[in-house]
Amino acid sequence: MINRSLRVRVATFLLIPMAAVAGALGVGGSWFVDTFVTNTFDRTLGGSVLSIAERLTILDGQITVSIPAAAFGMLSNSERDSIFYSVTAENLFITGYEDLPQPKQLPHPNTLVYRDTVYRGQPVRIGMMLKPIYVTQHMALVQVAETTNGRNRLASRMLTALTALGVALASIGSLLVWLAVRIGLNPLDKLRTEIEIRRGAAHKPIAPFPLAGVPSEALPLVSAWNDLLAQLNRSMQVLRQFTADASHQLRTPVAILKTHLDLLDRHQPGGSSWRSSRADIDTAVKRLDRLISQLLALASIEDESSSRTLTAEFNLRDIARDVALDFAVIARRQNIELSFDAPESPIIVAAEPFLLDQALRNLLDNAVRYNRSGGHVHVGVQIEAAATGSKTAKLYVEDDGPGIPEGQRELAFERFHRIERAGDPSGSGLGLAIVRAFIARANGTVSLLSRPGGQGLRVEITLAIASPDRTRSGSDTIAPAVNA
């Protein structure tokens, strides 16, 4: 595809109508010049005809005429046009040039009429008048012919001058159009310069283009580019953060894998040392898989430019119950009792179901992973009424594990923050960061609280109720616990 210059396109769109107008003016000017020259010379030619017609007299019953010198003197010009005349009365030649062509049709009496013809090999313009002689009741035809050299030369000069003026105006107009287009498109050159300045800024956020001085016609384009740059900066920030997190967190499990793979080569397959290294490799692979999944989840939720929240109304109780049932088997394997309760009536919220599902799974994974054998995990959904009369939905997960000290609860939401305790399983420190990011995108809040009545932690998610009319706050019924 050929890339055409915007300046050329704009100038072309302006010059084509100008050329059409110039052509129309040229045609109109040519008509005007021809009409002006013809009328000017015809007035002089008509004056000569009238001068001769006024000298017609009757002498001895015959029509006579005394040709005044002024009749032909007024027709003299620098081109020395030839003058011919004739006076006839009812096909009777009286004076002048007898062979001067007669009209095919006589004009009306006392009316000047003009016609073009050829006489003696030259184009001539003839003015004529039929003059009544009332004494004898005769009609005399007076004709005066003039060659057209003078009028043609004058018309040619006027057309040449008009053409020269038109060409000059067209040239000046074209130059002004081109200059106006160049000046008008200068902001695009400045924008190109701004883009070139930002070309080498891949290692840092790209600054938005300044809007000051941008023409109103280009403002939507520059604003759209700034929005695109903002999305690109967010995506690049997420990518840089993901790369930094991955390089930081993947180093340890990869080192473990390399070490144990080396040990496998040194031990006899099937031996106790070989099996121990094999088990450590399995553990490292699982940790690596979980870490990568969490990093990808965190990167996807933080990349607002590529992630679109698909809000829908759904029953919060159903999602909480389904996730709790999915974790029942995992809790049973670790000898942990998992229970669930919620109101009988539906609790309708407007959010992205996937976000809440993933957030709850991360919370349950932490509650089960860091709990002790024989511990308890409780999942619940309830409605809470505020003092203003409004209602919110609460989704909470309680456990009686080691909990999180109150002074570190806010830090627990930061990336890779872990509370080191003896006997705790390994983790990435990303679980609560992912939960907060998911819940924030779902327009909710998440809080870490002390478990009522004893040891452990209560994680509480608060969401707005979408349809209060559809949500009835009935009494809670405890679902049968899923026991280990």
pLDDT at 245 over 70: no
Q: Kindly report, residue by residue over 434-474, the tens digit of the pLDDT.
A: 788 878 887 888 888 888 877 888 999 998 887 655 444 33
CATH of 312-478, one of 3.30.565.10, 3.40.190.10, 2.130.10.10, 2.40.50.1070: 3.30.565.10
Mean pLDDT of 249-261: 65
State the pLDDT confidence band at 117, using cuts at 50, 70 and 90.
very high
> pLDDT band at 483, cuts 50/70/90?
very low
**357 or 426: whose pLDDT is higher?**
357
333-383 pLDDT tens trace? 889 999 999 988 888 988 888 778 888 888 898 888 888 888 999 999 998
For the segment 59-63, the average pLDDT, to the nearest whole number, is 76
* CATH architecture of the domain with residue range 6-155: 2-Layer Sandwich (3.30)
Confidence check: pLDDT of 325 > 60: yes
- The pLDDT value recorded for residue 128 is 94
Residue 244 has pLDDT above 90, yes or no: no
- The pLDDT of residue 101: 92
Domain boundaries, the chain: 6-155, 219-300, 312-478
pLDDT score of 145: 93
Does 175 score more than 60 pLDDT? yes
**Mean pLDDT rounded to a whole number for the chain:** 79
Whether pLDDT at 329 is above 90: no
Q: How far is CA 358 from the centre of its chain?
A: 37
Per-residue pLDDT reduced to its tens digit, 220-230: 877 887 888 88
- Provide the CATH number for the domain formed by 219-300 in this structure: 1.10.287.130
Instruction: Give the pLDDT band of residue 479 (cuts 50, 70, 90).
Output: very low
The reply to whether 6-155 and 219-300 are identical in fold is: no
> What CA–CA distance (Å, rounded) separates 421 from 405?
12
pLDDT recorded at residue 350: 86
